[in-house]
Homo-oligomer: A and B are copies of this chain.
Amino acid sequence: MSAPIALHPVPIDKLRVACSTCGLRELCLPIGLSDEELGKLDHLVTLRRSFRKGTNVYRAGEPFDALYAVRFGFFKTTVTAADGRDQVTGFSMAGELLGMDGIGTDKHTCDAVALEDSEVCVIPYGRLEEMSRELHSLQHHFHKVMSREIVRDHGVMMLLGSMRAEERLAAFLVNLSQRFTARGYSPSEFYLRMTREEIGSYLGLKLETVSRVFSKFQGEGLISVQQKHVRIIDIPRLRELIGQRPC
């Protein structure tokens, strides 16, 4: 069992190939397009691909020719150093875009791996550039998506560069909670798709430390954890931990 606990979930069964009828259009690339523009986008995105848990969407070094919009499921992206160590650089869920690392060199520079059975829409990159010359709001929105990725990365640098283990994990949980909320799932109860080791890699910690901090948070009544099932009990205090007003 790895589906999230749905409160008012996006109706996945009603998704169709076309962006114009996709339940994710408010989260994904089509944000802000008019109906007419959306119709044009349907010609851009025609192919879907499924990935079983553990399989790669792409690998570092492979030629780049498309971006991938996550339709459902969960992915991690990892970079590998010259000496073989790897580092998780992010986790992607429905409506998020994979593959932007490849534009700069025409080769992918990281691996994208499905953490559960998942599906993506394939966005041929050349067509995206063509079409964004025509549709100004597509162009602008695509730029925004890339820019937000840069801003997200800055947040991770802050996390890795100047936060302590507890703050990192709190930030991670708060971030997941927000993203699940935006997708119509519970803000306080969800299944982690990644292992402790993957969380640790992302947060610059060892898996034992991740496990210990989970236990500590549980002991303090902030969350309850049982393997991959997490329930957040006290979001305001988690937010305080990372220096945000409870809000």
Seen from chain A, the residues whose Cβ lies within 8 Å of a Cβ on chain B are 79, 81-87, 89, 100-105, 109-110, 129, 132-134, 136, 139-140, 143-151, 153-158, 160-163, 201-204, 242-245
Which of the residues B82, B86, B104, B149 comes within 8 Å of A148, measured between beta carbons?
Answer: B104
Contact assessment for B161 and A202 in the assembled complex, using a CB-CB cutoff below 8 Å: yes
CB distance from A199 to the nearest CB of B (A): 12
Asked if A157 and B156 make an inter-chain contact with CB atoms under 8 angstroms apart, the answer reads yes
- With a cutoff of 8 Å between Cβ atoms, the chain B residues found around residue A203 in the complex are 161
Question: What's the Cα separation between A125 and B88 when bound, in Å?
Answer: 32
- Beyond the given A104-B148, A129-B139, could you list 6 further A-B residue pairs with CB under 8 A, ordered by the A residue number? A82-B242, A85-B158, A100-B147, A129-B143, A132-B139, A153-B156
- Return A106 CB to nearest CB of chain B, in Å: 9
Contact at A151–B244, with CB atoms within 8 Å?
A: no
| Minimum-distance CB pairs A-B, first 4 | A83-B243, A103-B147, A153-B153, A104-B147
For A160, the chain B residues whose CB sits under 8 A away are 157, 160-161, 204
Please list 22 pairs of residues, one from A and one from B, whose beta carbons are closer than 8 Å in the complex, sorted by A's number.
A79-B155, A81-B163, A82-B242, A83-B243, A85-B243, A89-B158, A100-B146, A101-B150, A103-B143, A104-B144, A104-B148, A105-B144, A105-B147, A129-B139, A132-B133, A132-B139, A133-B133, A133-B134, A143-B146, A146-B150, A160-B160, A162-B204
